[in-house]
Amino acid sequence: MKRDPYANNLQVRPDGTLRHFLSIEGLDQALLTRVLDTAESFDAASQKNVRKLPLLRGKTVLNLFFEPSTRTRTTFDLAARRLSADVVNLDINASSAVKGESLLDTLRTLEAMRSDLFVIRHPQAGAAEFFARHVPEGVAVLNAGDGRHAHPTQAMLDLFTIRRHRPDLENLVVVIVGDVAHSRVARSQIQVLNLFGVRQVRVVGPATLIPSGVEQMGVHLYSSLDDAMVDADVVIGLRLQKERMRGPLLTSSEEYYQRYGITAKRLTLARPECLVMHPGPMNRGIEIDSEVADGPQSTVLEQVRNGLAVRMAIMALTMGAGPGLATESGQ
């Protein structure tokens, strides 16, 4: 009997299509390539001024953000509307959750409203998976960031951006610098870069902001950003997540910038066409110099734009809308 490669995989249906999008872990390169290719088709439609597609007409998307967000929430909202879905943005500060309602009770209440797709950001790792395990068949859950665990759509839009500039992924050296210990983005980035066979992923940052055993994730650990930048093709800066830090993990912002800030001088150590990336929001003058952030090698704003196409693709695929439909006439 042929073994089902997706058996017991919460994210994938038996036919190999996406059911939920919770983490890079558990997904394969072929399926994620389909996400990237679908995003390309959506972006191509947008370039032709096709601003709205009927793929999710009649569906209801609920954005459930238990943490502040600007870029992620806005792009998920716009992505759903571009696919003709009805969108509800739940104000958590005015919801029953702040009164002590459990996550499961919140879910049951929202289910009663007949939502088809939940986009959830939550400070607790595993919250999106919890939702996915309790929703009925036909309802999709997308993880917009859960604790320190995962931010898979950010990792995918970053990969989408890199692939557009450098499709030879297997030849690339990628540097990730900053607060790796508290970054769900970094974890998802490392997973997807390794899955796509990137030649080398380098991680660098203060020892207090690097998780123990990080090398087991398939990265090369550096103590000096100058050393890590040599021959780099891509450098990704991470935000210092002070809201998640417990205790004095940094001596000062000034010292951090001197040792780990992405500057024009450091960029000269990398390859001439090295891409500069940051998931945002950026702390200028601490994580990255403005000259670099606004310079010709920066893809920061491009990442934001690409996030729309990638999140449209993930929404459409989890809802069973095929990629070929992306070229249909809009409204």
Catalytic positions: 71-72, 99, 121, 151
CA atoms within 13 A on the CB side of 251: 9
**Cis, peptide link before residue 54, omega less than 30° from 0:** no
Task: Please give the Cα distance from 163 to 157 (Å, whole number).
Answer: 10
Side chain identity at residue 324, one-letter code: G
Task: Please give the Cα distance from 302 to 309 (Å, whole number).
Answer: 11
Rg of the Cα trace of the chain?
A: 20
Can you spell out the DSSP letters for 1-67? ----TTTT-TTB-TTS-BS-B--STT--HHHHHHHHHHHHHHHHHHHTT-----TTTT-EEEEEESS
Torsion of CA 202, 205, 209, 214, to 10 degrees: 20
Q: Which residue, among 269, 286, 287, 270, has the nearest Cα to 278 in the 3D structure?
A: 287
Q: Strands 200-204 and 234-237: what pairing?
A: unpaired
Q: Residue 51 CB: number of other CB atoms within 10 A?
A: 11
